[in-house]
Amino acid sequence: MPSFLEVRRGFCMKNIYAIGVGLIGGSLAIDIKTHNPDVVIHGISRKDATLNTALALGLIDKKATLDDIEHADLVIVSIPVDATVKLLPTLLDKVSDDGLVVDAGSTKAAICKVVENHPKRRNFLAMHPIAGTEHSGPTAAIAGLFKGKTNIVCEVEKTTFKLQEKALQLFTDIGMRIRYMNPEEHDRHIAYVSHLSHISAFMLGKTVIDKEKNERDIFDMAGSGFASTVRLAKSSPEMWTPIFKQNKSNVIETLEEYINNLTRFKALMQDDDFEAIFDEMKNTNHIKDILNGII
């Protein structure tokens, strides 16, 4: 029997099933295991090779399959968001009455919608850990990825209180701040601060590659400014295409505003209005104050 303190601290989540053992699933597994050495992390993935890598790297303790989900205290789903939407109802069918399913997907409206009327909706918690890198797969998993980062939790009131309490304790223990939002609000805001950044990095990379593909030497001139701005263009298309698809209307709105700003900048250049260009940049320097303490 776990002690009262163990229950309070979420340690009674002994069997944790990680569905998806890439950057996010693998990194969560590392941190949860570090803080709770007694838990057993069971890994589930499409490809056996991925699971073998996760096992060899020590991200998971055991390989498992979807048929084992009934034994789970906690299931963490960290696979592309279209796959999450397809799999979630089945997972809720399979999980025990005391088990909790959480997802780490970068969109929240479609994911919350697909389970809204599921009889076990109270065994699901929707979240989005705002942490990551441009790398993917089990080899990208790193310790401490979530320390000091925000975990956005949606529709918390729809999850059984004792399950949400255990899960939130687990994520707080690995260093995360919890913030609550509704799924639509999450998707609207994240389109600006994450999805648009990825599109602009992909298109910056494309612009330079298209222009410079026959001049490899030019990349010797690419300083840290280019490297840091284009970093996100290394991200996985398998993960990002379903995100853009699920958040299409918000993403299009951000793109319209971004394209307007680029068009205005171009017009100022064409008009030799460098005073206005200076002011545009000066006003945008305010981003330093906004981001101070965040990154």
In the complex, which residues of this chain contact ligand NAP (CB under 6 A)? 20-25, 45-47, 50, 78-81, 83-84, 104-106, 128-129, 132, 136-137, 140, 236, 238-239, 243
Nearest distance in Å: CB 175, ligand NAP = 15
Listed residue (62, 118, 63, 114) closest to 95, CA to CA: 118
Nearest distance in Å: CB 18, ligand NAP = 9
Comparison of 23 and 176: residue with beta carbon closer to ligand NAP: 23
260 residue type, one letter: N
Comparison of 120 and 198: residue with beta carbon closer to ligand NAP: 198
Nearest distance in Å: CB 24, ligand NAP = 3
Nearest distance in Å: CB 53, ligand NAP = 9
Nearest distance in Å: CB 9, ligand NAP = 25
What spatial distance separates the first Cα and last Cα of the chain, rounded to whole Å?
A: 42
Which residues are paired to 124 by β-bridges? 101
Comparison of 169 and 236: residue with beta carbon closer to ligand NAP: 236
Comparison of 10 and 105: residue with beta carbon closer to ligand NAP: 105
Residue 38, classified by CB atoms within 10 Å of its CB into exposed (0-12), middle (13-18) or buried (19+), is exposed
43: left (phi over 0), alpha (psi -120 to 50) or beta: beta
Nearest distance in Å: CB 132, ligand NAP = 2
Nearest distance in Å: CB 245, ligand NAP = 12
Residue 10, classified by CB atoms within 10 Å of its CB into exposed (0-12), middle (13-18) or buried (19+), is buried
Comparison of 59 and 100: residue with beta carbon closer to ligand NAP: 59
Comparison of 9 and 85: residue with beta carbon closer to ligand NAP: 85
Nearest distance in Å: CB 99, ligand NAP = 20
Comparison of 9 and 84: residue with beta carbon closer to ligand NAP: 84
